[in-house]
């Protein structure tokens, strides 16, 4: 998969859709983030663009058990319990995955060149909370992650920091992320910039020059 997924210019980009699930994004969700109401249109544009241009989409899904200790640890209400209605994605990002990376450590990871949508189940904030996910992202090198989703200061931040620690290039689509708390979200975006994460808008991503570039360069963002 390392050679095949990254063989063309477009596939050197990986769109990373973080936790755009019903429990976070719809008003009747168990842990509704009100600011997410602003990003539905941009999420739709990004997913459609990726599908049209055969860009690999990696989607993470917060995935809990009914009695998950995280709920008590962080004071969260039960949410994103596996296969309950709130665990599924909102319509704008709902796709049928070609490969699911479950939390079962015994699961066999056998990606091929044919996947266009990969779903990663994770038990906590970061993509790195599922060890099999780390094996997957290593297979994707070299690539540049274009991240979006929720919540900016929560799972988006944790996942982006994990990828940076693994020396991946990461951009964040700043008008396709939503915070739980506005000020915390703003501080996270400032932190990203200080760490070298490239801020992009949905229009930047969908304008077409990303495909011609293959990977982003600093000069193109001046």
Structure tokens belonging to residue 147: 């991240």
With residue 198 as reference, give the H or E element that holds it.
Answer: strand 198-200
Determine contact, residues 9/214, Cβ cutoff 8 Å.
yes
* Placement of tokens 């983030």 in the chain: 33
User: Tell me, what's the pLDDT at 104?
Assistant: 72
**DSSP state, residue 76:** P
Structure tokens belonging to residue 23: 């429990």
Report the alpha-carbon distance of residue 5 to residue 18 in Å, rounded. 20
CATH-assigned architecture of domain 2-213: 3-Layer(aba) Sandwich (3.40)
* CB atoms inside a 10 Å sphere around CB 134: 16
* CB atoms inside a 10 Å sphere around CB 12: 22
Determine contact, residues 24/150, Cβ cutoff 8 Å.
yes
Task: Tell which residue, 54, 7, 46, 41, has the closest CA to residue 171.
Answer: 46
What is the per-residue pLDDT across 152-184, written as a single tens digit (0 to 9) for each?
999 999 999 999 999 999 999 999 999 999 999
Report the alpha-carbon distance of residue 182 to residue 60 in Å, rounded. 22
pLDDT in tens, the chain (222 residues): 333 333 334 437 999 999 999 999 999 999 999 999 999 999 999 999 999 999 999 999 999 999 888 888 888 999 999 999 999 999 999 999 999 998 776 665 666 667 899 999 999 999 999 999 988 899 888 899 999 999 999 999 999 999 999 999 999 999 999 999 999 999 999 999 999 999 999 999 999 766 655 444 333 332
* Domains of the chain, residue spans: 2-213
């Amino acid at each position: 998969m390392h050679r095949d997924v990254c063989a063309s210019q477009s596939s050197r980009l990986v769109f990373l859709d973080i936790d755009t699930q019903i429990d976070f994004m719809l008003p009747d969700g168990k842990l509704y983030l009100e600011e997410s109401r602003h990003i539905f249109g941009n999420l739709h544009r990004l997913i459609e663009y990726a599908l049209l241009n055969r860009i690999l989409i990696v989607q993470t899904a917060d995935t809990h058990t009914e009695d998950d200790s995280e709920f008590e640890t962080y004071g969260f209400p039960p949410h994103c319990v596996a296969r309950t209605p709130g665990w599924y994605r909102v319509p704008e990002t709902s796709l049928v995955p070609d490969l699911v990376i479950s939390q079962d450590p015994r699961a066999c990871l056998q990606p091929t060149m044919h996947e266009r949508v990969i779903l990663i189940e994770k038990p906590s904030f970061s993509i790195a909370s599922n060890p099999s996910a780390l094996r997957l992202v290593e297979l994707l090198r070299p690539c540049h992650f274009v991240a979006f989703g929720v919540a900016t200061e929560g799972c988006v931040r944790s996942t982006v920091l994990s990828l940076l620690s693994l020396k991946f290039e990461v951009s964040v689509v700043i008008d396709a992320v939503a915070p739980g708390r506005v000020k915390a979200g703003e501080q996270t975006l400032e932190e990203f910039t200080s760490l070298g994460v490239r801020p992009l808008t949905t229009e930047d991503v969908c304008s077409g020059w990303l495909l011609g570039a293959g990977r982003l360069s600093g000069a193109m963002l001046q």
